[in-house]
Amino acid sequence: MQRADYDMPFLLQYENVAWYEEGKVRILDRRIYPTEIIFVECHTHQEVAQAITDMVTQSAGPYTAAGMGMALAAYEVKDLPIDEQKDYLDKAAHTIGYARPTTANRMTQITENCANVGKLALDHGTSAIEAIFNTTIDSLNRRYTIMDKVGCTLLKQLPKKGSVLTQCFGETIIGTLFRAAKKEGYELEVYCAETRPYFQGARLTASCVADLGFSTTVVTDNMIAYIMENKGIDVFTSAADTIARDGHIANKIGTNQIAILAQHYEVPYYVTGIPDTDKFGREDIVIEERDPQQVLEYRGIKNTLPSVKGIYPSFDITPPSRISGIVTDKGLYSPYDLATYFTHEQTRFY
Q: What is the pLDDT of residue 244?
A: 96
Question: In the β-sheet with 235-239, what is the strand arrangement from edge to edge?
Answer: 215-219, 187-193, 161-166, 235-239, 269-272, 325-328, 331-333
- Does 346 score more than 80 pLDDT? no
- DSSP H or E stretch at residue 25: strand 24-28
What are the structural domain ranges in the chain?
10-145, 157-342
Q: What is the pLDDT of residue 102?
A: 82
Using alpha carbons, select from 254, 195, 266, 202 the residue that is nearest to residue 228: 266
Question: Can you give the pTM of this predicted structure?
Answer: 0.87
- Does 55 score more than 80 pLDDT? yes
Residue 241 known to be catalytic: yes
- Does 1 score more than 60 pLDDT? no
**CATH number given to 10-145:** 1.20.120.420
Kindly report the CA angle at 343 between 339 and 346, in degrees rounded to 5? 105
More confident residue, 48 or 286: 48
Q: What is the pLDDT of residue 348?
A: 66
CATH number for 157-342 (one of 3.30.365.10, 3.40.50.10470, 3.30.200.20, 3.30.1330.40): it is 3.40.50.10470
The chain-wide mean pLDDT, for the chain, equals 95
- DSSP H or E stretch at residue 90: helix 82-97
Contacts of 64 (CB under 8 A, 6+ apart): 14, 17, 18, 57, 136, 140
Catalytic residue among 241, 278, 291, 329: 241
The count of other CB atoms within 10 Å of the CB of residue 2 is 6
Could you give the CA distance from residue 18 to residue 206 in angstroms, rounded to a whole number?
Answer: 20
Work out the pLDDT band at 149, boundaries 50, 70, 90: very high
Q: What is the dihedral of CA 126, 129, 131, 136, to 10 degrees?
A: 180
Work out the pLDDT band at 198, boundaries 50, 70, 90: confident
